Amino acid sequence: MKRQLLGAVAAAALAFGFANVALAKTLVYCSEGSPENFNPQINTTGTSFDTAYPVFNRLVEFKPGTTEIMPALAESWDVSDDGLNYTFHLRHGVKFHARGDFSPTRDFNADDVIATFNRMWKKDDPYNAVSGGAYDYFNDMGMPDLLSAITKVDDYTVKFTLSKPESPFIANLGMDFAAIHSKEYMDAMMKAKTPEKVDQEPIGTGPFIWASYKKDDRIIYNANVNYFRGKQPIDRLVFSITPDQATREARLEAGECDVIPYPNPADIAKLKANPDLQVLEQEGLNVGYLAMNVQKPPFDNVKVRQAINMAIDKDSILAAVYQGAGSAAKNPIPPTIWSYDNDIQAYPYDPEKAKAMLAEAGVTDLKTDLWYMPVQRPYNPDAKKMAELMQADLAKVGITAELKTFEWGEYRKRLQAGEHMMGMLGWTGDNGDPDNFMGVLLSCGSAREGGQNVAKWCNEDFTKLIDEAKATSDVAKRTELYKQAQVIFHDQAPWVPVAHSLVSMPMSKKVKGYKVHPLGTHIFEGVDIEE
């Protein structure tokens, strides 16, 4: 019962000193999993980004429900004519959170911006190696080479100097990894010899203050009364961690949850019919795919990869897994993003031709693994079922696939290390730019061990095209270059692109002001609930 959950929340909150919790307006979000940590610099999963988002702001942010950039901690910015210098004019009077053993002595300023980026960029920064020191987004986007200098002009002015023009740079700074941290907090925790607390007990400037976390159970946030955009309509936000899809839906219908993610597509009609609920829907800026590790034979052979593409029956997957809430994919970017090349012809489902191509490549009795995700994601509502269907399809062309999975954090780590032969994953765009798919997921730079190019595919011609696209602000020219890159991707076939899904968000009709974010994050700033 929701009453029981809120009672538990009240007890936890009292332990953290919030005496009036019983009177607080509380929204319960039944999330799908536990975070790796609360620092978006060092993680890459939507689950962890969601839990950090209430705490932090970025220099720039996306307008709610859109991919349009708006000012945030930076009130304005200037770009030099050569596209190499970005000068940010910072907002005055922004307060960092006070919590537990930390109380800020000053407002947010340029020192915090520089400390945030130096942690990811400078190998000699004292925080660089904390919590493993893996800054996957920062590295996979080529930021270490792109940045030439970050200069404090004065307390409220910071200049980023780039080594080359980078058209998506402003949009990139709106992404989760660019969340601004408190230098004071970082220094205090380093002095206390507990630097990892910065990642596990976060301090930011955002609309909610992190209060407590019980692993695999709940996260409690309290409204920030000093928030620069004003206090939130709700007093408390609770992430009630509920990994099982059916359990989330049952708890929503029972009134124990106010909002849930990733419903079973087969249940959406039933949820829509419930008079106490509403279901918001939006075309997702996403793609679900099966990556073939090109560093492991026989997937280093393009004919084998093309054959696998023809062996997978996408229509059956769409019917069984997405159940009308998805469309077949053929490119690495969704059709909702600019530069999508609709002229590319998808590989047909043709098991006989697939068998013939495997024979031509000298591949017989192939045994492979096929990794599938242990969680529901916006791009894949049931990875296990999809894997079983793929396994059956591959068996028809003489390929034996062993299904494997791991805990979500471990799964990502191993996949990015390249341990798999075939692995299932997907992506929801972070900034509405094609580079966020093609550069981050498929460039030579991101094919590094630990990078997000889990196909480990490096094609110099492809990477040259997307690098050229980033270097110009001419959208028509960028579009043509990205279309050429999509042709190379299709011909070389490092993935089986499977589907783009429709994103559905069921919630109580009492919830007001929630917007489905096209970039996949679940955002509760400005959201209210009727009591």
The predicted structure's pLDDT at residue 195: 98
CB-based burial of residue 511 (10 Å sphere; 0-12 exposed, 13-18 middle, 19+ buried)?
A: buried
pLDDT tens-digit map of 466-482 = 999 999 989 999 999 99
Closest CA to 217 of 505, 11, 381, 14: 11
The predicted structure's pLDDT at residue 13: 46
Return the sign of the alpha-carbon dihedral for residues 187, 189, 194, 200.
negative
How many angstroms separate the Cα of 95 from the Cα of each of 115, 182, 524, 527? 17, 10, 20, 21
Reported residue count of the chain is 531
Structure-token match 């393009």, residue found: 302
Question: Helix (H, G, I), strand (E, B), or coil: what is residue 23?
Answer: helix
**Contact (Cβ atoms closer than 8 angstroms) between residue 336 and residue 283:** yes
Q: Which two tokens stand for residue 119?
A: 């942690």
C-alpha to C-alpha distance for 305 and 311, rounded to whole angstroms: 10
Closest CA to 285 of 426, 387, 425, 494: 426
Structure-token match 């770009």, residue found: 79
Closest CA to 274 of 253, 304, 297: 253
Q: How many Cβ atoms are within 10 Å of 362's Cβ, its own excluded?
A: 10
The predicted structure's pLDDT at residue 1: 47
Q: Which two tokens stand for residue 352?
A: 């006989």
C-alpha to C-alpha distance for 286 and 266, rounded to whole angstroms: 20
Q: Where are the beta strands (DSSP E) in 54-156?
A: 60-62, 69-71, 74-79, 85-90, 147-154
Q: Over the chain, what is the mean pLDDT?
A: 94
**Contact (Cβ atoms closer than 8 angstroms) between residue 162 and residue 145:** no
pLDDT tens-digit map of 328-351 = 999 999 998 999 999 999 999 999
Question: Helix (H, G, I), strand (E, B), or coil: what is residue 265?
Answer: helix
The predicted structure's pLDDT at residue 101: 85
pLDDT tens-digit map of 3-50 = 455 555 544 443 443 444 445 899 999 999 999 999 999 988 889 999
pLDDT tens-digit map of 497-510 = 999 999 999 999 99
Structure-token match 């190499």, residue found: 84
**Contact (Cβ atoms closer than 8 angstroms) between residue 235 and residue 354:** no
The predicted structure's pLDDT at residue 4: 52
Closest CA to 112 of 198, 46, 17, 53: 198
Residue of higher predicted confidence among 117 and 519? 117
Q: What is the mean pLDDT of residues 196-221?
A: 97
The predicted structure's pLDDT at residue 431: 87
Contacting residues for 95 by C-beta, under 8 A, at least 6 apart: 104, 107, 108, 205, 226, 228
pLDDT tens-digit map of 286-322 = 999 999 999 999 999 999 999 999 999 999 999 999 9
Q: Over 70: is that where the pLDDT of 449 sits?
A: yes
pLDDT tens-digit map of 395-446 = 999 999 999 999 988 999 999 999 999 999 999 988 889 999 999 999 999 9
Residue of higher predicted confidence among 248 and 137? 248
C-alpha to C-alpha distance for 379 and 283, rounded to whole angstroms: 11
Q: Over 90: is that where the pLDDT of 170 sits?
A: yes
Q: Which two tokens stand for residue 336?
A: 């909702």
pTM: 0.84
Residue of higher predicted confidence among 101 and 219? 219
CB-based burial of residue 391 (10 Å sphere; 0-12 exposed, 13-18 middle, 19+ buried)?
A: middle
C-alpha to C-alpha distance for 271 and 100, rounded to whole angstroms: 41
Considering only 2-16, 98-112, 270-284, which range has the smallest mean pLDDT?
A: 2-16
Strand partners, 151: 159
pLDDT tens-digit map of 217-242 = 999 999 999 999 999 999 999 999 99
pLDDT-based confidence at 376, cuts 50/70/90? confident
DSSP 173: T
- Domains of the chain are 56-194 (3.90.76.10), 286-502 (3.10.105.10)
The predicted structure's pLDDT at residue 59: 98
- CA contacts within 13 A on the Cβ side of 488: 19
C-alpha to C-alpha distance for 356 and 353, rounded to whole angstroms: 5
Sequential DSSP letters for 448-463? STTSS-TT----HHHH
Q: Over 90: is that where the pLDDT of 377 sits?
A: no
Closest CA to 38 of 215, 199, 203, 241: 199
Residue type (1 letter), 199 = D
**Contact (Cβ atoms closer than 8 angstroms) between residue 30 and residue 257:** yes
Residue of higher predicted confidence among 282 and 235? 235
β 326-328/286-292 pair status: unpaired
